[in-house]
Structure 1
């Protein structure tokens, strides 16, 4: 959550340095983009914990708990496949960035390894939360009351 405030501070500094100090900075926009990327990449798993992801509620709200769990189990499996492929690509891209010192093509030319490492961490966190959610949904689809089995620790 605090990364949004950091991004706003970076953009405010860029604006003030350009207008008040008459000394524009070349790094501000890219740094704000990297901060925002870190914000949404690291927030994916947390959003899953809160069940904050968007879904089509037209049919979903009318289904029974078990049918919802069956559909959610299927979509979780698809998400797992996607995240594993994304993680594979993220790790290879991060390794390349670290090995060759990859920089962005801009006047500032920041190194890309830090944001790629954050990307991989965010993917791993979302993958772990997806696995957790998939286990819970499979249990619910099979008729096991997850809250009764595990207590109030599970949303």
Structure 2
């Protein structure tokens, strides 16, 4: 494989591994928010922000952790046939199906950027009583989707290398 592709795979994997390892700890942020929600409902006045903030934390955890999940191969696959195939057969199927994933993520990113620009231009807020601005979570989603596209391309290059009998 050309050195440029090797460098691309190395750097994208390194960045997504670092971000993924960092974002793993957001589960504790989510747990803290939900714990405060329970405490405030029991002993104080219920907080207006806890439910929506928990949703935002979960979105960040899920979307930003997605590229790391792809990198680890822990995404969902139908193993009825896939599990019994050779490494080369799996690489052929993965190289083909990743194109659908990249297309889907591209459409998602296009819509996400459009929605984020709208939220910034018009100061879009949530319709809940807390009324937070929506652009921060939309920007986080766009970032996560963009990183998933980069990781999917990296996985495509790895599959091509496996087909050729090389490991990246």
TM-score under structure 1 normalisation? 0.90
4+ runs deviating over 3 angstroms: none
2: CA distance between counterparts of 1:60 and 1:111?
44
User: What is the aligned-residue RMSD (CA, Å)?
Assistant: 1.0
2:43 counterpart of 1:20: yes
**Is 1:40 aligned to residue 65 of structure 2?**
no
Q: Find the partner of 1:77 among 85, 99, 115.
A: 99
CA deviation string 1:115-152 (max 9, x = no partner): 001000100111000000011112323x231x2xx4xx
Structure 2 gap segments, 5+ residues each:
1-23
* Structure 1 residue 20 displacement after superposition: 1.5
- How far apart are 1:114 and its partner, in Å? 0.4
TM-score normalised by structure 2 residue count: 0.83
- Matched with 2:33 is 10
- Matched pairs, number: 145
2:76 aligned counterpart, secondary structure: coil
Q: Which has the higher contact order (CA 8 A, sep 6+)?
A: 2
Aligned counterpart, 1:153 = none
3-state DSSP of counterpart to 2:103: helix
Task: After TM superposition, list the pairs within 5 Å mapping 1:6-155 onto structure 2.
Answer: 6-21=29-44, 23-141=45-163, 143-145=164-166, 147=167, 150=168
Q: Which runs of 5+ in 1 are unaligned?
A: 151-155
Q: Which has the larger radius of gyration?
A: 1
Distance 1:103 1:10 in 2: 21
Q: In 1, distance between residues paired with 2:25 and 2:162?
A: 35
